[in-house]
Amino acid sequence: MINEQQTGLVFDIQHFCVHDGPGIRTTVFTKGCSLHCRWCHNPEGMDHTNTARYFAEKCIGCARCVDACPHGARCIIDGRLFYQKEICRNCLTCAEMCPSGALTVCAKEYTAQQIADIAVRHKVFYGQEGGVTLSGGEALMQPEFTASVAALCKEQGITTAIDTCGFVPKESIEMTLPYTDYYLWDIKAIDRDLHHHGCGVYNDLILENFAYLDRCQKKISVRVPVIGGFNATDREMTSIARCAAEKHNVFEVILMPYHAFGEPKYRTLGKTYSMWEDAEISEEQMEHFKEIFRSMSLPVK
């Protein structure tokens, strides 16, 4: 099933990452996500197809994008470029015609072999622990590509990790099992309705897949975004800690405080950022939540 020529849409590749699994890593961000978390700081990875982004500060007002758009989704009024997302058909013609880089495409197509070649060039920096992390978006939305990249990296002696929200068919996880050393598993909430409220889907499949991965005896790093107004309560943190503590292969839990770094990206995509006002939490609250995890003998960062 491993295919060197399998293509995938990738919206970013970052090197020297130290928060995406053990050691120093190259993180590959694949396009498309199965959740719609309100706090997402990578909105350019949400859509499954390629999309255009607009950087107003680079726009020279030439109107080439307006003339090029076959659907009339862009127009200039009083020197400002306007965009009607609901009309846009995502053909990307406007980005191809833009001379200044104000309109660009989010993602680029790579073959699995091209990604593996990039990883090999950086192998010297990975040391014993580091390697490649496939992230997103949701890395398992393009399972053939992700599995092929992981397999090719393993062939080169590079450690692999997959960062996933877990809301994917079990078969997609299965496909990657032989080639993946670590899974970075996001848990946002245990309460079903709360999960639906924050992420747009119920969490049954995520929790089933989490238990399945544990039975497969894979090393799991649990990732918990801590969001005020959502899951930053003793009740929810205790439920998440209990769920992680029941598993046999969770080697760490990472609590990630909410930050609004992703907000400006929403504007470049013509999307609305509709986050709760009280989402940020204090260091004291974070320490308190860490204690909940420690009390269940979970190593927490």
By CB under 6 A, name the binding residues for ligand SF4. Answer: 52, 59-65, 68-69, 71, 73-74, 81, 88-94, 97-98, 100, 102-103
Question: From the CB of 83, what's the least distance to ligand SF4, in Å?
Answer: 6
* C-beta of residue 289 within 8 angstroms of C-beta of residue 257: no
Nearer to ligand SF4, 78 or 277 (CB): 78
Number of H-type helices and E-type strands within the chain? 10, 12
Question: From the CB of 31, what's the least distance to ligand SF4, in Å?
Answer: 15
Neighbours of 111 (CB within 10 A): 18
Q: Which of 132, 109, 110 is nearest to 121 (CA)?
A: 132
Nearer to ligand SF4, 79 or 277 (CB): 79
d(C-alpha 90, C-alpha 123), whole Å: 36
Residue with tokens 């990296």: 153
Beta bridge partners of 25: 17, 131
Nearer to ligand SF4, 62 or 296 (CB): 62
d(C-alpha 66, C-alpha 81), whole Å: 9
Q: State the DSSP H helix or E strand holding residue 29, giving kind and residue range, or none if neither.
A: strand 25-30
Nearer to ligand SF4, 79 or 248 (CB): 79
CA–CA distances in Å: residue 192 to residues 48, 87, 188, 232, 257: 25, 34, 10, 15, 21
Nearer to ligand SF4, 45 or 143 (CB): 45
Question: From the CB of 11, what's the least distance to ligand SF4, in Å?
Answer: 16
> Interior CA angle at 97 toward 96 and 103, to 5°?
70
Question: From the CB of 265, what's the least distance to ligand SF4, in Å?
Answer: 17
Question: From the CB of 261, what's the least distance to ligand SF4, in Å?
Answer: 24
What's 166's DSSP letter?
A: S
Question: From the CB of 49, what's the least distance to ligand SF4, in Å?
Answer: 10
Nearer to ligand SF4, 103 or 220 (CB): 103
